[in-house]
Amino acid sequence: MSNHVQTGSLGYPRIGEQREWKKALESFWAGKTDEKTLTDTMEELRLEQLRRQQAKGLEFVPVNDFTYYDHILDTAVMFGIVPARYGHEGGAVSLATYFAMARGSSNAVASEMTKWFNTNYHYIVPEIGDSQPYLAENKPLAAYRSAKERAGIEGRPVIVGLYTFLKLSKGFASSAFAEKVEQFLPVYGQVLQELKQEGVQWVQIDEPALVQDTTPEQLALVERIYAELRRQVPGLRILVQTYFEAVEHFERVAALPVDAIGLDFVHDRGQHLEALERHGWPQDKLLAAGIIDGRNVWRSDLDAKLELAGRLSAYVPAGQLILQPSSSLLHVPVTVDREDKLGPEIKNALAFADQKLDELALLARAIREGQDAVASELAASREALESFRLLPERNRTDVAERLAGIDQVGDTRNLPFAERFEVQQQKWQLPLLPTTTIGSFPQTKEVRQARQQWRKGSLDDAAYEAFVNKEIESCIRLQEEIGIDVLVHGEFERTDMVEFFGEKLAGFFFTANGWVQSYGSRCVKPPVIYADVAFVDPMTVKESAYAQSLSSRPVKGMLTGPVTILNWSFVRDDMSREQVTNQIALALRHEVEALESAGIEMIQVDEPAVREGLPLKGRDHEAYLNWAVRSFRIATSTVRDTTQIHTHMCYCEFHDMIESIRDMDADVISIETSRSHGELISHFELQGYDHGIGLGVYDIHSPRVPGVGEMTDMIDRALHALDARLFWINPDCGLKTRGWSETEQSLRNMVEAALAARERLQTAPAK
């Protein structure tokens, strides 16, 4: 193996070791700090993150991966892509307009938000329309200058590639894609020219869309883009970086007229190595090999990584290999160092962002100096992995036996939906267009403090239960007074919709500071599935039954579905994701049955993350959706015909999986449509939907209170496409992150819009 190897990072967590980024943003939004304080705080945090990476000995430190909200939004405003509703009149985009696009304002709804490929991160969707791009501000140049002048770091600016940016955008016909490429190319060229003039040596252009289905015609456009950029900036060294999967058309991607190609050797299922062995590697090009998993939290098998690096060096000329994470480290927490409450077997098996960069440094040292130079470190790594592998909770025979018989587990309701619908109508006697919410209600400071006191032991179980019950009763009374038809208990006992269940199932552990960004300032602390998952005791029955005892109206039991628990957790990597999901489904089946036995006969099993786990290539969709749908049915199929199963999904593109959603056979699905401005309705206008459905009529991720007319328009359009007997009215997601005042007013407006629509339907002349 050649000992000439370099190391680099593709991006680093933005949020700070103690979520300083989140706190600075939310303080500014709340009016507690001014814009200068925000920008000063953000700059210091950005520089601190760069210094941390520099200290790891990286040859390539990324700059411009830091953002105030989202890197795709940054790219849009850099090119002046601002929808007209925000009133932008050209020039640099103000911070107020930037945040209005992300969060909405009193005058304009927020831009659409959706999943970043198959991750748990959300990006703001650019609305290009007829906008003419211009360089409003060269953000990569500003980031490069700051890093060099203030930290002495020769950074590698990161830019979202033109092909990927347009693939992720909306507001133009697919037939106009090539035209948009030509509109944007000069502006991209201007960005690169200014970087070259500044003395920038390398630029990282991220093109993750190249791992999706890519036609030869689309790839020809990519070739056109990079041929033109090479013509405009000869001499500037360009890395085209891909991640999350194997690229389509390996030979043509490897031949792009750039200086380096970045490939994922972790999530490619071995395809890149096979392609290298089949086609070789261009002798004039660097290979940036993602060999450390940038999306999961486990320590690497360093022996296996050294073997992989050796195989790569057989095809890549000496000095032409860069070792790096498989993707940006945005998707993992910052450091394991603060996880003092974990046992040594578990803590030693973990690697967060800082530890992954340490692994890169260790691998590089082993290659440069020989493995004897790092023998003790390699031995310690082997010992940690072996101790973890042998934990008894990772080797449960009872769970293994149940999993072995999964093919024989029933997954079908007793009656088909059309017949269940009639018996459920007789049982529940709900009005036309019933109203409900998605589950959670505002989590106030008092709620969070009480939970924290209880966890610390300063509030005993009885006092905490009394506090939660009081919150539940207030929530039930408010919903009754507003006039909501199907109630929820508010979920005041829950921190997070996945963490709550992970704490009560076997097979999970929890970090103290393992936070990652989900969207904007919203950070989550994913559970870690490290062992066999199994049911222990009822998890939600007590609170749900108490809520139902307070009202004659139905109260939904609220669960998180198996695929969402999987996709919103860090998952063990020694077992297939399908197998882990089936373990979770079998455990949730016990909880569904326990709720029904306790008299809770509307049960919502949320699956917002089904779509985000969809493989990036179309040929892999069917297999994934088959087992994902079946896991939901395993969890929910044993209930009585009159028991109504609900589910919920949000913030993804659903038009291409409506049949799979139908196959889940939930009696009612609530699905987001407000943030995407009702675009999903167009699909139903063409194809309809024959199960119960609620299309979210307002966006809960924006602080604005939508008017009755706004919701009425959404309802009326939906009713042109959907059977009114099957239609429900609800917000598009849970209300946990909102304040009580805006929540109450929004729900009152929603019920008013529903009542008006109900009256119009009931008084309309028969057709």
DSSP 152-186: ----EEEEE-HHHHHHT-BSS-GGGHHHHHHHHHH
Q: C-alpha distances in angstroms, 572 versus 416, 564, 567, 569, 630?
A: 36, 15, 12, 9, 21
Please say whether the beta carbons of 489 and 471 come within 8 A: no
Express each pLDDT in 389-437 by its tens digit.
Answer: 999 999 999 999 999 999 999 999 999 999 999 999 999 999 999 999 9
Q: What is the pLDDT of residue 611?
A: 81
Q: Is 172 left (phi over 0), alpha (psi -120 to 50) or beta?
A: beta
Please say whether the beta carbons of 9 and 357 come within 8 A: yes
Is 19 annotated in some ligand binding site?
A: yes
Return the residue matching tokens 């300083």. Answer: 20
Fold (topology level) of 5-334:
TIM Barrel (3.20.20)
Confidence grade of residue 337 (pLDDT, cut at 50, 70, 90) = very high
Q: 235, exposed or middle or buried, with CB in 10 Å at 0-12, 13-18, 19+? A: exposed
If DSSP codes are grouped into helix, strand and coil, which group holds residue 561? coil
Q: What is the pLDDT of residue 302?
A: 98
Indicate whether 529 pLDDT > 80: yes
Q: At 472, which helix (H) or strand (E)? A: helix 461-482
Q: What is the pLDDT of residue 64?
A: 98
CA angle 756, 759, 764 (to 5 degrees): 125
Q: What is the pLDDT of the chain when averaged over all its residues?
A: 94
pTM: 0.90
Please state, in angstroms and rounded to a whole number, the distance separating the CA atoms of residues 475 and 481: 10
CA angle 286, 291, 296 (to 5 degrees): 140
Helix axes 577-597, 541-549, angle to 10 degrees: 30
Express each pLDDT in 667-700 by its tens digit.
Answer: 999 987 655 555 666 667 667 789 999 988 888 8
Total count of residues recorded for the chain: 767
If DSSP codes are grouped into helix, strand and coil, which group holds residue 286? strand
Give me the amino acid identity at 221: L
Express each pLDDT in 242-254 by its tens digit.
Answer: 999 999 899 999 9
Q: What is the pLDDT of residue 568?
A: 93
Q: Is 548 left (phi over 0), alpha (psi -120 to 50) or beta?
A: alpha
Is 515 annotated in some ligand binding site?
A: no
Please state, in angstroms and rounded to a whole number, the distance separating the CA atoms of residues 454 and 116: 36
Q: What is the pLDDT of residue 361?
A: 97
Mark whether 88 is an active-site residue. no
Q: What is the pLDDT of residue 699?
A: 82
Is 440 annotated in some ligand binding site?
A: yes
Is 568 annotated in some ligand binding site?
A: yes
Helix axes 353-369, 375-389, angle to 10 degrees: 130
Give ranges for CATH 3.20.20.210 in the chain: 5-334, 399-760
Q: What is the pLDDT of residue 652?
A: 55
Please state, in angstroms and rounded to a whole number, the distance separating the CA atoms of residues 495 and 252: 48
Express each pLDDT in 230-275 by its tens digit.
Answer: 999 999 999 999 999 999 899 999 999 999 999 999 999 999 999 9
Please say whether the beta carbons of 625 and 660 come within 8 A: yes
Segment among 435-444, 666-675, 714-723 with least mean pLDDT: 666-675
Interval 17-31 mean pLDDT: 97
Interval 273-301 mean pLDDT: 97
Q: What is the pLDDT of residue 700?
A: 82
Q: Which of 119, 120, 75, 133 has its CA nearest to residue 101?
A: 75
Indicate whether 655 pLDDT > 80: no
Q: What is the pLDDT of residue 698?
A: 85
Q: 98, exposed or middle or buried, with CB in 10 Å at 0-12, 13-18, 19+? A: buried
Q: Which of 623, 627, 614 has its CA nearest to residue 584?
A: 627
Could you write out the DSSP letters of every residue in 87-101? ---SSSPPHHHHHHH
Indicate whether 183 pLDDT > 60: yes
Is 612 annotated in some ligand binding site?
A: yes
Q: Which long-range contacts (CB under 8 A, 24 or more apart) does 391-394 make?
A: 391/345, 391/530, 391/531, 393/506, 393/507, 393/530, 393/531, 393/532, 394/530, 394/531, 394/532, 394/572, 394/574
Express each pLDDT in 77-126 by its tens digit.
Answer: 999 999 999 999 999 999 999 999 999 998 898 999 988 999 989 999 99
pLDDT above 70 as % of the chain: 97
Could you write out the DSSP letters of every residue in 298-361? BPP-HHHHHHHHHHHHTTS-TT-EEEEESS-GGGS-S-STT-TTS-HHHHTTB--HHHHHHHHH
Q: What is the pLDDT of residue 496?
A: 83
Please state, in angstroms and rounded to a whole number, the distance separating the CA atoms of residues 431 and 434: 6
Task: Supply 537's token pair.
Answer: 């005791």
Please say whether the beta carbons of 570 and 530 come within 8 A: no
Is 685 annotated in some ligand binding site?
A: no
| Residue 126 DSSP label | P
Is 111 annotated in some ligand binding site?
A: no
Helix axes 20-29, 35-55, angle to 10 degrees: 170
Please state, in angstroms and rounded to a whole number, the distance separating the CA atoms of residues 253 and 258: 10
Please state, in angstroms and rounded to a whole number, the distance separating the CA atoms of residues 7 and 56: 10
Express each pLDDT in 584-627 by its tens digit.
Answer: 999 999 999 999 999 999 999 999 888 878 899 999 999 999 99
Please state, in angstroms and rounded to a whole number, the distance separating the CA atoms of residues 501 and 555: 19
Half-sphere exposure for 228 (CA within 13 Å, toward CB): 17
Round the CA-based radius of gyration of the chain to a whole number and report it: 26
Task: Supply 575's token pair.
Answer: 């077992």
If DSSP codes are grouped into helix, strand and coil, which group holds residue 558? strand
Q: C-alpha distances in angstroms, 704 versus 106, 110, 544, 739?
A: 6, 9, 30, 11
Is 471 annotated in some ligand binding site?
A: no
Please say whether the beta carbons of 695 and 716 come within 8 A: no
Phi, psi torsion values for 689, nearest 5 degrees: -160, 130
For 641, residues 6+ apart whose C-beta sits below 8 A from its C-beta are 413, 414, 415, 419, 420, 423, 424
Interval 147-155 mean pLDDT: 97
Confidence grade of residue 702 (pLDDT, cut at 50, 70, 90) = confident
Which residue out of 88, 122, 590, 701 is catalytically annotated? 701
Task: Supply 226's token pair.
Answer: 């990079």
Is 736 annotated in some ligand binding site?
A: no
Is 439 annotated in some ligand binding site?
A: yes
Q: How far apart are the first and last CA of the chain?
A: 78
Q: What is the pLDDT of residue 659?
A: 86
Furthest-apart CA atoms within the chain: distance in Å: 86
Beta bridge partners of 728: 694
Architecture of the CATH domain 399-760? Alpha-Beta Barrel (3.20)
Express each pLDDT in 195-223 by its tens digit.
Answer: 999 999 999 999 999 999 999 999 999 99
If DSSP codes are grouped into helix, strand and coil, which group holds residue 375? helix
CA angle 343, 344, 346 (to 5 degrees): 70
Task: Supply 634's token pair.
Answer: 């395993």
pLDDT above 90 as % of the chain: 88
Is 728 annotated in some ligand binding site?
A: no
Please state, in angstroms and rounded to a whole number, the distance separating the CA atoms of residues 724 and 688: 12
Is 359 annotated in some ligand binding site?
A: no
Is 20 annotated in some ligand binding site?
A: yes
Is 22 annotated in some ligand binding site?
A: yes
Express each pLDDT in 325-335 by its tens digit.
Answer: 999 999 999 99
Q: What is the pLDDT of residue 680?
A: 64
Task: Supply 61's token pair.
Answer: 């430190």
Please state, in angstroms and rounded to a whole number, the distance separating the CA atoms of residues 622 and 627: 9
Q: How far is CA 534 from the centre of its chain?
A: 25
